[in-house]
Structure 1
Amino acid sequence: MASIHTLARQVDPCADIRGRLASIIARHLGDRRESETPVSGLTIHGTSRPSEPSSYLYEPSFALIASGSKRVVLADETYVYDESHFLLTAIGLPTIVQVLNASPSTPYYSVKLNIDLELASELIAEVDEHGLRAASSETGMALGPVTPPLANATLRLVELLDTPEDVPILARPLQRELLYRVLTSGAGTRLRQAVDLNTQSNRVARAVRWIRQNYTHPLRIKDLADSVGMAESTLHQHFRTLTAMSPLQYQKRLRLHEARRLMINQRIDAGTAAHRVGYESATQFSREYSRLFGTSPKRDVRTILDADANHVRLAPVD
């Protein structure tokens, strides 16, 4: 007699939490797509339709989706995640982001918490007493599984939006709990990187900060390596490991992302934007812009503005 194998229906332990999370986000967003909150570093996001690919500079942060899915492109690496995974970023990284799944009946909702590096450092020191292994050298972005404890910690932090009078007292301990859940997850080494990379002793982090502060100026790798006390080959190796880019590629992407932001937010033309971010040749700018974003600056900006003229606002590089 033939055997019939069936899979038992899996109960999603986080489904109710995500529903409550999405409800709070929707209520506080209203008709906006993004909003800062009274909780320091916490922003909420939502949309009822898929988005065009857009520029986004991630700071050290934790991002969780309550509904929908998203694609994040970092250089040649692509991260696609939904309600079952969170995104953790260890250092400022220029990316291309796109909401993939969203509709009027099932909108996309998410939260992002910029990591309080001082709080995370205190927490890591305490957890280390229990023998947590040291961080490995990896790209500064990772996905981790959303567990019920982590989802619950996120929900309780976001619930403070309904009781803003509790924020001064409860926000920090709730952030601490959330960071603890991240630290003890499979992506916990990235939280360590977020702390370690932002200490003054980290040479690659100093190189990243210098480029971000001076991205409109010509970049000489020898000068950059000398300024952080590294050999050029060593700087290249560790910089690429962390960012998935060389220093020159990192600078180029910062320039192109910022030019895109200027054209969209300030409605300036491509030539003016190119000059402001450090390009001397408008032709070179247009060629490199098209290579990164897949179309010319003029056409790209027109598409974005036509899609959502009232809501598209990109964050500046610094």
Structure 2
Amino acid sequence: MSSENYETNPAEVIPPERDPRGGNAQRHGILSEHVPPAEREAYAAHVQAVRQSSGARGYLQERLADRIALAMWRLDRVARYEAAVSAAEQRSALQGIEEQKEYGPAGAVTKAYTRLHMMVGESAYHLRKDPALSEDQAARHEEAARQLDALADGGSGEGLEVNAAFMVAHLLTEQLQRLKVKPAAIVQALTGRKPKAGEVEYIEANDWEYEPEELPGLVRLWRTRLDDHMSGALLRSLAGGERLKAQAVRDAQREAVEVHTDALSLAALPGPKELEKVTRYEAHLERVLYRALHELEAVQRRGEGQDTPGPLRGIVDAGGLYGGGSE
């Protein structure tokens, strides 16, 4: 067998070079390699919609429409990226708030609710979950203020609701001790009898559980130790203090809610460096989009026989634009 039988025509082994335009669909169009496989079906419908709505006809117009479609798709991807980053950061912030972390945006929330806790007494966790707890405490301070004003006007302290009676009795007891009234006398005024073992210590430690029926006796002791003028002035001063406490609780609650909202808003944005990159990328895509839109419009106008003036060229410096004109 001759050696000629083993020779092969190179043209049969090496396929002819593909027309570069043949790969345009894979590189830029409906099957673009710039689009992940999972997105390509939706992207194909997107490209067809852009071609149809733009009225693209022929190879050049379709290529420009495809470029518009790709720029729009990538801009949408930037928006989805920003939304995903925001959601992830907000989830992280919420987790930090739940864990009462003491740094970053979550730390600001923890500190705000801790301040509120010091005023109200409820845990920071429950105050954050139920804003009504703060308002309830503010309302108690206001009710105590009204009852103190009533005592200043000659009231007896009888018939008060449990919380109001407790707060008024607690305030009167504190003031009586400052006036050097002995705890034993306070116990006797509250109960109508001599103190039992340990009761004086409860008064000294501010641990007495005041009952509504004990308040009138305490009021009588108050009036025996202070003249009418001093009694009325001090009671109204105490009432003013309770109103200030009510306002402080509401202010602290409002601040805590605002700090919580701000923490989530801060978490909704990427960091400064990441934000700068995203902003630059988004601006680049918008330039690509509008350039392609303008080019498509110009091609279509030429195809319809309409005049399409050339681009305006000029030089921009501190003095403005000069030397321009159409070409």
- Provide TM-score, normalisation by structure 2: 0.18
Question: Which fold has the larger relative contact order, with Cα–Cα distance below 8 Å and residues 6 or more apart in sequence?
Answer: 2
Structure number, greater radius of gyration: 2
Higher share of residues assigned helix: 2
Higher share of residues assigned strand: 1
